Amino acid sequence: MSHNPGSPSPIQPLSLGNVVSAGLKLYSSHLKSYLKLASVAYLWIFVPVYGWAKCSATLALISRLAFGELVSQPESVESGRRFVNTRLWQFLVMGLLMLAISMGFTIVIMIPFGILAVILAGIFVASQTSGATVNPIIVLTLVLLILLLIPIFIVALLWVQARFCLVEIPLAVEDNVDGTSTIGRSWELTKGHVWRIAAILFVAYLITFPIQLPFTFVSTILQGIVETVAQDRPGYAILLSLARLVIILIGGALVVPFWQSIKAVIYYDLRSRREGLGLRIRDNSDK
């Protein structure tokens, strides 16, 4: 099977730049179909339960199609959709489990902030009650600790995201995987490569930030208007809230195919490293 010129050699480790450039090439070369799938996926969000499962499966379909391109086994959208639809409820199970895991990690990461905030508030309350002067050194130390924790918090979130960034792809690609085991599969594949993946995700955020910035700006303005007119004109506020939601979804639909492509490249790279995926497929094609 001839190797896809748009992707790096499967038997060579992919650098950060190669992963990002491969994701960009996949995104640009299949822009129309990927954007259509992303838009349909976000429309499903408005349908409770079933729609959430369809949204997750459709986004995973983008990664499945991108992965097929990387291994030079392109697949039609309909063929890929038939496969992911057979696992529709497993995508819902995966999503619910990931929601619980994300909430748990977020709570753990936020605990130091909460402790410092309580201490800081306690110092001010005690000073107000007793009339004593607050020691500026203590306050400054606590504020500096909070500021120091912010980059640590960001790095911790990137670490968590790196470990679970592939959760939907094994479910969309591999056999004998369900909504639970696909989470463990992501954890297994990313082991030993977390910081490299975190760096890739950070660069991807930098790339998508300018695209989403105008949508975020308009959304923030609409939110301010909603808060202003919410009491006097509730109907008008509801319409503005819906418009804000639509703008957020449009912004998301523009960048999520790039993210799904990036994740497909990472998945391809990790499987090639650990399982000789690319080499095995190429050898089979040469027979």
Give domain status of residue 284, yes or no: no
Domain count across the chain: 1
Paired tokens of 96: 């619910």
Give domain status of residue 8, yes or no: no
C-beta of residue 38 within 8 angstroms of C-beta of residue 257: yes
- In this prediction, residue 55 carries a pLDDT of 96
Per-position pLDDT tens, the chain of length 287: 333 444 444 445 568 888 999 999 999 999 999 999 999 999 999 999 999 999 999 999 999 999 999 998 999 999 999 999 999 999 999 999 999 999 998 888 888 777 877 877 777 776 666 666 666 777 787 778 778 888 888 888 899 999 999 999 999 999 999 999 999 999 999 998 999 999 999 999 999 999 988 888 887 887 777 667 666 676 676 777 777 788 888 888 999 999 999 999 999 999 987 776 653 433 333 33
Give domain status of residue 285, yes or no: no
- In this prediction, residue 135 carries a pLDDT of 66
Residue 151: CB atoms within 10 A of its CB come to 9
Paired tokens of 6: 């748009």
Give domain status of residue 5, yes or no: no
Give domain status of residue 6, yes or no: no
> Which pTM value belongs to this model?
0.82
Give domain status of residue 161, yes or no: yes
CA angle 9, 192, 205 (to 5 degrees): 70
- Segment (H or E) for 270: helix 234-275
Give domain status of residue 68, yes or no: yes
Give domain status of residue 2, yes or no: no
- In this prediction, residue 121 carries a pLDDT of 73
Residue 77, judged by CB atoms within 10 A of its CB (0-12, 13-18, 19+), counts as middle
How large is the angle between the packed helices 88-130 and 181-190, nearest 10 degrees? 70
Alpha-carbon gap, residue 20 to 79, rounded angstroms: 27
- In this prediction, residue 186 carries a pLDDT of 96
Torsions phi, psi for 2 (to 5 deg): -70, 145
Q: Which domain holds residue 70?
A: 16-279
